[in-house]
Amino acid sequence: MHRRHFLQLTIAACVAAGMSGCSRSDPLRTGIHPWIGYEPLYLAEEFGWLPATVQLVKGQAASDSIGGLISGNLDAAALTLDETLRVLAAGVPVKAVAVTNVSVGADVLLVRPEITGLSGLRGRRVAVELGGVSGILLFSVLERAGLTSNDISVVDLPVNEHIRAWQRGDIDASISYEPEASRLVAEGAVRLFDSSQLPETIFDLLVVTDAAASRQPAAVRDLVKGHFLGLQHLVRNMHDAVYRVATRQEVSPDMVRQSLANVMLPELLANHRYLTHNGRLEVVAKTLENIMVREGLMDKPLRYEHLTDPAFLPRSLP
Helix H, strand E, coil C: the string for the chain is CCHHHHHHHHHHHHHHHHCCCHHHHCCEEEEECCCHHHHHHHHHHHCCCCCCCEEEEECCCHHHHHHHHHHCCCCEEEEEHHHHHHHHHCCCCEEEEEEEEEECCCEEEEECCCCCCHHHHCCCEEEECCCCHHHHHHHHHHHHHCCCHHHCEEEECCHHHHHHHHHHCCCCEEEEECCHHHHHHHCCCEEEEEHHHCCCCCEEEEEEEHHHHHHCHHHHHHHHHHHHHHHHHHHHCHHHHHHHHHHHHCCCHHHHHHHHHCEECCCHHHHHHHHCCCCHHHHHHHHHHHHHHHCCCCCCCCCCCCCECHHHCCCCCC
Residue 315 in contact with other proteins, rule: CB under 8 A: no
Q: How far is the CB of 47 from other proteins (least distance, A)?
A: 8
Residue 130 in contact with other proteins, rule: CB under 8 A: no
Residue 250 in contact with other proteins, rule: CB under 8 A: yes
Residue 244 in contact with other proteins, rule: CB under 8 A: yes
Among 151, 252, 268, 293, binds other proteins (CB under 8 A): 252
Among 128, 251, 285, 298, binds other proteins (CB under 8 A): 251
β-pair partners for 203: 102
Q: How far is the CB of 243 from other proteins (least distance, A)?
A: 4
Q: How far is the CB of 241 from other proteins (least distance, A)?
A: 8
Residue 294 in contact with other proteins, rule: CB under 8 A: no
Q: Restricting to residues 4-33, name those near other proteins by CB under 8 A.
A: 4
The packing angle between helices 62-71 and 81-89, to 10°, is: 30
Q: How far is the CB of 244 from other proteins (least distance, A)?
A: 6
Q: How far is the CB of 269 from other proteins (least distance, A)?
A: 18
Q: How far is the CB of 275 from other proteins (least distance, A)?
A: 26
CB nearer to other proteins: pick between 46 and 200: 46
Among 18, 21, 48, 113, binds other proteins (CB under 8 A): 48
- Span from 55-63, 219-227, 230-238, 275-283 in contact with other proteins (CB under 8 A): 230-238
Residue 267 in contact with other proteins, rule: CB under 8 A: no
Residue 238 in contact with other proteins, rule: CB under 8 A: yes
CB nearer to other proteins: pick between 239 and 300: 239
- Span from 15-23, 76-84, 146-154, 242-250 in contact with other proteins (CB under 8 A): 242-250
Cis before 179? omega within 30: yes
- Span from 88-96, 108-116, 212-220, 245-253 in contact with other proteins (CB under 8 A): 245-253
Residue 247 in contact with other proteins, rule: CB under 8 A: yes
- Residue 80: other Cβ atoms inside 10 A: 26
Pick from 297, 288, 231, 284: which is nearest to 260 by CA?
Answer: 231
Q: How far is the CB of 178 from other proteins (least distance, A)?
A: 15
Which stretches of the chain bind other proteins, using CB under 8 A? 3-4, 47-48, 236-240, 243-244, 246-247, 250-254
